[in-house]
Amino acid sequence: MSGDLRFDSVMKSIDVYGRLAFGGQCVAMMMLIAGPLLFLTAAVLPFVLWDDNRGEALLFWLGGWAIAIVVTLAGVGLGVFAWRWSGDWITEWPGYAVALVFAAAGNTALGFMLTSAPLPIPASFAIAIGVVFALGCLVAGHLGGARLLPDQRQRAMARRR
């Protein structure tokens, strides 16, 4: 195998840890979007549904805030954990843009499944999170930062010689 072919195959392939890291970062972005949305929903919805003198409104208000904080902190934790194994290509803007699109689509699908689809709640979460993670793992090697442009490849080969 020639050096140029070997270099191309290495640059086109992303290791398993990098793929898993990007899938984890897509799920973390999903959690970081869902946290503030849960917080706002928990701040407004209980008092729209019930009067201020109902105990359920206060329970859902405080419980919703707690869930929103836990989801946001878990998203930050997962993002930092997955960042350790991510490559430089993830920290470029295409990686963030793709993760944001996948997370927004996953949250939208999750909201639809929770409100309109006849699925159990755990299955809705498992499907939405699993699909976002799998899509992140599949697309990881095809992001713009994962490949070198032809002129960059030639410069890199010239430096090696």
How many domains does the structure of the chain reveal?
A: 1
**Cα–Cα distance for residue pair 20/133, rounded to 1 Å:** 8
Tell me if 75 is assigned to some domain: yes
The predicted model scores a pTM of 0.71
The confidence score (pLDDT) of residue 148 equals: 46
Which domain range does residue 51 map to?
17-160
Average pLDDT over the chain reads 76
Tell me if 30 is assigned to some domain: yes
Tell me if 9 is assigned to some domain: no
Strands (E), the chain: none
**Cα–Cα distance for residue pair 35/52, rounded to 1 Å:** 24
The confidence score (pLDDT) of residue 81 equals: 85
5-14, 71-80, 90-99, 117-126: segment of lowest average pLDDT: 5-14
Tell me if 12 is assigned to some domain: no
Tell me if 136 is assigned to some domain: yes
Could you give the percent of the chain with pLDDT greater than 90?
A: 4
Mean pLDDT within 13-21: 71
Tell me if 146 is assigned to some domain: yes
Mean pLDDT within 95-108: 87
Tell me if 77 is assigned to some domain: yes
pLDDT in tens, 22-39: 888 889 999 989 888 888
